Amino acid sequence: MAYLYTHRLYYLGTLLMLKDRFGRPVTHVRLSVTNRCNYSCVYCHREGLTYSSEELSPEDWDFFIRVATGLGLRYYKVTGGEPLLYGGIVDVISSVRRYGGIPSITTNGYLLKEFAEPLSRAGIDHINVSLHSLKRDVFAALTGYDALDKVLSGIREALNYGIKLKINYLVLKPNLSEIWSLLDFASSNGLDVNVIELIPLGVSKELYESLHVDLDGIVSYLETVSIKKHVEQFQNRTVYTLPSGIKVYVIKGYGNPLMCAGCSRIRVGPDGKLKLCIYREVYLDLKQSIKARKEFEVMEILAKAVEAREPYFR
């Protein structure tokens, strides 16, 4: 392994770490295990990935996670599509824990009630639940599915198992007025919140303009009511602590050089395609190396990906 892009390999204590040529360590993987979803959200950007019906097996992911964790990729955000539709989702979470990683999931919450117990047993660190409205009609209009009650039931069940939850709230014109009630709901249940700005990806220009809301007004409110403010190292996100104790993360993912400067993430799709950035159509193919269980080839591809990374916004 001495010749594996040695100028991009660093040691942190006893941990091997990959850094790109901009000095950004690569420690996070956004791992999409499926493109299948039971929703048809109007704003969906499919994680910036090219659609594929192909899915790697839980055994494939176990091999990849073992190799990637050995290179210092410690944090695994498992997503989709809807990841709870993937048959081996609990096995994937168990694999991350087995090799010393920290697993989390982003889910629409529809199947959360059924999966709360097995995910808890597998060692899930936390779960992000997409909850963009507390009104049934608005929820259905945004997601294409009248499933609000089922999502809320899933949240309650996950809390019963002691799972740490975070709400993903994508701010749009149809749900902007709900920010206050959603923060109250989160505070009442001890849920942190990601307040997310819509990015112009996966939607037409016309749809984007009809939905997009600038977050400046919400940020001004948070500046007034918060009791603490800090900047998180990952993606340089601003985090506000409210009097209830919950944390509100402001995520402005477009036209934001500070977020790019703090990005430590790569993305891998259901078919094993590795993507360097959500905005770039640049892929490296891991599938054949994973399928053949060629550990060194996977390491080389990961190192090559890190070598090619650069901030999208500067």
- What is the predicted pLDDT for the residue at 167? 98
Cβ contacts of residue 131 below 8 Å, gap of 6+? Answer: 109, 151, 155, 167, 168, 169, 182
pLDDT of 200 higher than 90: yes
- What is the predicted pLDDT for the residue at 237? 96
pLDDT of 297 higher than 70: yes
* pLDDT 10s digits, 128-160: 999 999 999 999 999 999 999 999 999 999 999
Q: Are strands 75-79 and 102-107 parallel, antiparallel or unpaired?
A: parallel
Q: Which domains does the chain show, CATH number per domain? A: 27-308 (3.20.20.70)
Q: What are 77's strand-pairing partners?
A: 30, 104
Question: What is the residue-averaged pLDDT of the chain?
Answer: 93
pLDDT of 7 higher than 50: no
- What is the predicted pLDDT for the residue at 3? 40
In whole angstroms, give the CA distance from residue 204 to residue 255. Answer: 18
Cα dist from 154 to 169, 246, 287, whole Å = 17, 20, 33
* pLDDT 10s digits, 87-100: 999 999 999 999 99
- What is the predicted pLDDT for the residue at 50? 76
Of 15-19, 37-41, 180-184, 219-223, the least confident: 15-19
Which of the four pLDDT bands, split at 50, 70 and 90, describes residue 282?
confident
Q: What is the mean pLDDT of residues 216-239?
A: 96
Angle between helices 136-143 and 148-160 (to 10 degrees): 100
Helix %, strand %, coil % for the chain, to 5? 40, 25, 40
Secondary structure element (H or E) that encloses residue 306, with its range: helix 295-308
Which of the four pLDDT bands, split at 50, 70 and 90, describes residue 16?
low
* pLDDT 10s digits, 71-85: 999 999 999 999 999
Q: Which of 314, 310, 255, 227 is nearest to 21 (CA)?
A: 310
- What is the predicted pLDDT for the residue at 14? 36
pLDDT of 293 higher than 90: yes
**Tokens 């950035």, residue located:** 277
Burial class (CB in 10 A: 0-12, 13-18, 19+), 289: buried
